[in-house]
Structure 1
Amino acid sequence: MRKNSFKSLAVALSVLLTALMVCSSMVSAATPTGKRLKDVQSRVLVGTEFSSGFTNMDSTFFNTATPEFNLVTAENCMKWDALEPSQNSFNWNEADKLMNWAKTNNYKVHGHTFVWHNQAPGWIQNLSASAMESAMNNHIDKVMGRYKGQIPIWDVANEVFEENGSYRNSFWYRTMGKSFIEKAFIRARAADPSAKLVYNDYNLEYTGPKSNAAYEMLKDFKSRGIPVDGIGFQMHLDIQYAIDYNDFAKNMQRFADLGLEIYITEMDVRVSSNTNSTELQTQASYYKNIIEKCMAQPAVKAIQFWGFTDKYSWVPGTFSGRDNALLFDKNYNPKPAYYAVQAALATSPTPTVIYGDLDGSGSVDALDYSLMKQYLLGSITKFPSENGLVAADVNASGTVDALDFAVMKQYLIGLITKFPAQV
């Protein structure tokens, strides 16, 4: 009896020590080395997504996520079916929880989303054109009115194009035509003039029919004064499909040349469900190369991941045989992708100054001509360039002086076609 007691005690102690070692290992693994992602640099916001019911997550979820990011998007609780399930009857419970959590933890919130063909309640889908527009206006007014001045970025329109570049045949499009998009932006600007208004879509990173269609739509909006501030690249990637990183950079640049801010809104990189170390290294390279290109583009204002741990991910339920797309594994251990992102965020090269590029977009375009004209006429006294007035030093003398004004004037009236100094 006594011998068996010692044996039982030894077994119990062994189990306890094993449990302690596992717990110790998990705590250590959940705290990656180096600076937290949001602290590596200060130029862009670094964000994640929280699902509904996030307040019920385990403590490791919050201990891992909270120090890493400074921007959060709601996966579902700010979508139409969650906020307004029946007409003019709003449910603010989950959205308010997210707002309160963000305020407590010094996070900014990226609002998501107003007009979308998915997750829209049935009552909105069968209205007449005038009734649908009225309902859309009311929804935008009520939601943006509640959070006015608290949500700095909103996805106003989401996924309105097919892969071939045609407008998606959604209930919005069938009922209101393509005008529903610009009407939503106009209403959103009136509801909260301080918010950045974004068009958000997937597969925009590749130049092609879909990206071209989005570009032409936004170019048209800008030319007609439709209030749009940014383009959202969702960036749901998979290592099965190659990406031309230089093409991605050029694609971002053309949107930036429209005067748009760029937001990476929902990034993840899928690998197989039975992931091996080679796949994880490939995944890390995708994250690294994309984010390095983003950090080299001044128009990029935020980089967000669609979650942070593989424990809570939309991927396996949507893509058969694919999983493990995020920066932390299901046990909250940082993956090679995490350290790739950490390193890439630190690579923020000084942008090349192109003389005459007054808005810092990377090229001399129509907006620069307009700014030069306003400056010459005295309508503005400073250029809104990240590089300051030095960007208007067109003769590279080191100061902005009368000669620069003369050169700009010649450029404006077509006497010269190039500035006499570039770097």
Structure 2
Amino acid sequence: MFCALVLGAFAASPLAAGQSKWLGNVIAGSVPANWDSYWNQATAENGCKWGSVQGGGATSFNWGQCDITYNHCQTKGIPFKYHTFVWGSQEPGFIGGYSDQKGAHLNFMKTAASRYKPNFIDVVNEALHAPSSIRNAIGGSGSTGWDWIVFAFEQARSLFGSSKLLINDYGIVNDAGAVTRYLGIINILKGKSLVDGIGIQCHQFNVNNLAAATITSNVNSLGATGLPVYPSELDINGNSEADQSSIYQRVFPALWTNTHVKGITMWGYITGQTWKDGTGIVDAGGRERAAMTWLKGYLESTKV
């Protein structure tokens, strides 16, 4: 069954209940007991990446962690985003010297398509910063300069006809020059009707010191394409709880209230269990830190 996309139909999500856009988070090896009380969209943190799925070799597939996230979305009727198919990091060890890199990657995508019907897919991740090591095998630069990306999106469109296809990268929301380079790829894909949305990673190293006006300007430049923008991998730390909360109060509204933004995915929330130190907003014992207290109040009073 394809996950419902009607936001009002979500089972339980106090933070984004009644909103026109979702606020999601990652799921790692298991679903935390309090996960559903906060979030209404999910991405597997590592479980769907090529290196995680085929770390055991070319003929070995381990979908266990990816299944956990997908099945939870199916049960709760919330959007599932597949992350990711083409990325220069976390590729399987066997692929470097493999004789048929293109065939191996297509087999990975086809096997995923036989198991999942994602609402969203980060088809290509970090093309500007960590391009796939197999890019020459799947088209190289070619006539567009980015034929390997075009190929990946063509395969995703063919295999996942009902999924929304996204491109995703970091260092975008804070850099107008990177926005321009990113738009070069996006407009090629848009011209071929291959892309449905724009992902912008919002990790703490890009947003902690970022002015709200800069966020707005760069998101608007991307949104001018007519494509929805999806801030992804959002995490924020600080020198103290109060400092972290203050940064949230500067960054989050600039993203949430922008009309081009249609959903935000955070990258972890439990202290000590996040990718970057200090980015948790709920302690392992369940205590909500100042940033979460503010976020709950903000979303209760700000409807979009």
TM range (shorter): 0.7 to 0.9
For 1:283, the equivalent position in structure 2 comes to 244
> How far does residue 261 in structure 1 lie from its aligned partner after superposition?
1.3
Q: 2:258 aligns with which of 269, 292, 297?
A: 297
For 2:65, the equivalent position in structure 1 comes to 94
Q: 2:105 aligns with which of 127, 136, 141?
A: 136
For 1:326, the equivalent position in structure 2 comes to 280
Contact 2:211–2:250 (CA under 8 A) maintained in structure 1: no
Deviations 1:214-250 (A, max 9, x none): 1221122213x14011111111115995212112112
Q: How does 1:183-194 map to 2 (within 5 A)?
A: 183-194=151-162
Between the aligned partners of 1:261 and 1:115, the Cα distance in structure 2 is 21
* 1:339 partner SS: helix
Between the aligned partners of 2:71 and 2:206, the Cα distance in structure 1 is 37
Between the aligned partners of 1:38 and 1:114, the Cα distance in structure 2 is 28
Higher RCO structure (Cα 8 Å, ≥6 apart): 2
* 2:283 partner SS: coil
For 1:202, the equivalent position in structure 2 comes to 170
Between the aligned partners of 1:36 and 1:47, the Cα distance in structure 2 is 12
> How far does residue 266 in structure 1 lie from its aligned partner after superposition?
0.8
Call closer, same or farther: CA 1:192–1:240 in 2, change over 3 Å.
Answer: closer
Regions of 4+ moved over 6 Å? none
Residue type at the aligned position of 1:161: L
Contact 1:197–1:227 (CA under 8 A) maintained in structure 2: yes
> How far does residue 51 in structure 1 lie from its aligned partner after superposition?
1.2
Q: 2:25 aligns with which of 41, 48, 64?
A: 48
Contact 1:186–1:226 (CA under 8 A) maintained in structure 2: no
The yes-or-no answer on 1:172 pairing with 2:121 is no
* 2:234 partner SS: strand
Deviations 1:24-64 (A, max 9, x none): xxxxxxxxxxx82132x421111111112x15xxxxx31x2
> How far does residue 88 in structure 1 lie from its aligned partner after superposition?
4.1
Q: TM-score, normalised by structure 2?
A: 0.85
Q: 1:38 aligns with which of 9, 12, 16?
A: 16
Call closer, same or farther: CA 1:246–1:74 in 2, change over 3 Å.
Answer: same
Between the aligned partners of 1:69 and 1:115, the Cα distance in structure 2 is 26
Between the aligned partners of 1:182 and 1:221, the Cα distance in structure 2 is 7
Q: TM-score, normalised by structure 1?
A: 0.62
Q: How does 1:266-277 map to 2 (within 5 A)?
A: 266-272=233-239
Between the aligned partners of 1:100 and 1:290, the Cα distance in structure 2 is 32
Q: 1:211 aligns with which of 170, 174, 179?
A: 179
For 2:43, the equivalent position in structure 1 comes to 73
* 1:180 partner SS: helix
The yes-or-no answer on 1:124 pairing with 2:95 is yes
Contact 2:208–2:247 (CA under 8 A) maintained in structure 1: no
Larger radius of gyration: 1
Call closer, same or farther: CA 1:169–1:313 in 2, change over 3 Å.
Answer: closer
Contact 1:265–1:305 (CA under 8 A) maintained in structure 2: yes
Uncovered stretches (5+) of structure 2, i.e. residues with no partner = 1-12, 141-145
For 1:152, the equivalent position in structure 2 comes to 119
Residue type at the aligned position of 2:227: L
**How many residue pairs align between the two structures?**
284
Residue type at the aligned position of 2:290: P
* 1:303 partner SS: strand
* 1:212 partner SS: helix
Residue type at the aligned position of 2:156: A
* 2:220 partner SS: helix
Call closer, same or farther: CA 1:144–1:299 in 2, change over 3 Å.
Answer: farther
Contact 2:169–2:199 (CA under 8 A) maintained in structure 1: yes
Contact 1:73–1:110 (CA under 8 A) maintained in structure 2: yes
Uncovered stretches (5+) of structure 1, i.e. residues with no partner = 1-34, 56-60, 163-167, 273-278, 316-322, 350-423
For 1:246, the equivalent position in structure 2 comes to 213
Deviations 1:157-192 (A, max 9, x none): 111113xxxxx4641345542322111111101111
Call closer, same or farther: CA 1:185–1:106 in 2, change over 3 Å.
Answer: same
